[in-house]
Amino acid sequence: MHVYLPIAEMPVNALLVLLLSGAVGFLSGLLGVGGGFIMTPILLFMGVPPPVAVATELSQVTASSVSGAISYSRRRLIDLRMAALLTLGGLIGGYWGVQLIAVVRELGQADVLVSLVYVAFLTSIGGLMLWESTEALRRQALGLPPPRPKARPAGIVLPLQMRFPRSGLTLSILPPLAIGAGAGAIGAIMGVGGGFLLVPAMIYLLRMPANVVVGTSLIVVLITSSQLTVQQSAVNGSVDLVLAAMLITGGVIGAQFGVQAGHTLPPERLRTMLGAVVLATGLCLLVSLLLPPGERYALGGGL
């Protein structure tokens, strides 16, 4: 069943879009990511023009993450203080990411930057998560105690300490701000919400309890993607509401099933899955970029 998209100016198979966005939404609710890093390349592959793909996918990220976030907040599994700091950092980082890409676009190298950032971060983050979490699962299976977390470097006590009761942590506000800024900048370059960076950063760098990480990440992704959707629409006018409606429908339904599946799985298992999904996406992209292209030329702005 084909539906014509008014902004992209092309028809797409509605059923296919619904199924794919449902699957991505499932991963979103399950793993605390928006899913933009998977769905945006899929939309580009289907022939949707890049600005439309990026901007429209952001609205699906908003929908899936709010759908998941409400469910997590009902279970009180969201650290709002942490989310606020990460979001604040994210808005600052996102601003600079957009500036950077504008400069690089002037130089005609935006696609180079975007491709390299995609491959570098997806493969490295995905690989690290997969390796760590399978190691944790292996230790569990052998009955070994989990490795003792390395002590924080003593002597350096960062200023501006704050208590995070929901996570049971006392931390300086600087690391969450920096992590938010980093994820925001990279997310803006990739045109995604940045959840796949926030989740591992919260687990490994901030050492937040695994059960609050997913919900907290979803809140941050929700705010970032809302802001980016409006910004993209104002600057490029490139959100396609018809495509968005299909993506959102699939996304929110998938996300609900994802959240429910998430409660039945141990956190290490979830991290393995997220790591595998991120790594697989990165490797697919890497392979497609390593193969010499049949067509040396491409019409502007593609990934």
Partner 1 sequence: MRRAASASAIFALFAMLAAALFAAPAIAQSSDGFVAAVTEDQIAVSSTFSGARIFVFGATPSRRADDVVVVVRGPGGPVTVMRREPVFGLWVNSDPVKFEAAPGFFAVMTAKPLSQIASRKAIWELGLDPAGAARLTGATPADADPGAYRAALVRLKRAQNLYQENPRGLTRLPGGLYRSPVALPANAPPGEYRVEVYLFRNRKLVGTETSTIQIKRIGVERMIHDFADRFPVLYGITAVLVALGAGWLASVTLGRRT
Which residues form the interface with partner 1 (CB under 8 A)?
2-4, 6-7, 9-11, 47, 59-60, 62-71, 74, 108-109, 111-112, 115-116, 119, 226, 229-235, 237, 239, 241-242, 244-245, 248-249, 252-253, 255-257, 259-260, 263, 286, 289-293, 295-302
DSSP per-residue letters across 38-63: HHHHHHHHTT--HHHHHHHHHHHHHH
User: Among 202, 204, 192, 216, which residue's Cα sits nearest to residue 278?
Assistant: 192
Q: Smaller CB distance to partner 1: residue 140 or 260? A: 260
To the nearest whole angstrom, how small is the minimum distance from the Cβ of residue 64 to partner 1?
7
Residue type, 49: P
Q: Smaller CB distance to partner 1: residue 59 or 167? A: 59
> Dihedral of the CA atoms 74, 79, 81, 87 (nearest 10)?
-90
Residue type, 193: G
Question: In angstroms, rounded to a whole number, what is the distance separating the alpha carbons of residues 170 and 228?
Answer: 31
To the nearest whole angstrom, how small is the minimum distance from the Cβ of residue 201 to partner 1?
24
Q: Smaller CB distance to partner 1: residue 12 or 177? A: 12
Q: Smaller CB distance to partner 1: residue 167 or 224? A: 224
Q: Smaller CB distance to partner 1: residue 110 or 171? A: 110
> Dihedral of the CA atoms 177, 189, 56, 286 (nearest 10)?
-120
Radius of gyration over every alpha carbon of the chain, rounded to an integer in angstroms: 19
To the nearest whole angstrom, how small is the minimum distance from the Cβ of residue 47 to partner 1?
8
To the nearest whole angstrom, how small is the minimum distance from the Cβ of residue 293 to partner 1?
5
To the nearest whole angstrom, how small is the minimum distance from the Cβ of residue 279 to partner 1?
17
In this structure, are residues 221 and 53 in contact, taking their beta carbons and an 8 Å threshold? no
Question: In angstroms, rounded to a whole number, what is the distance separating the alpha carbons of residues 9 and 63?
Answer: 23
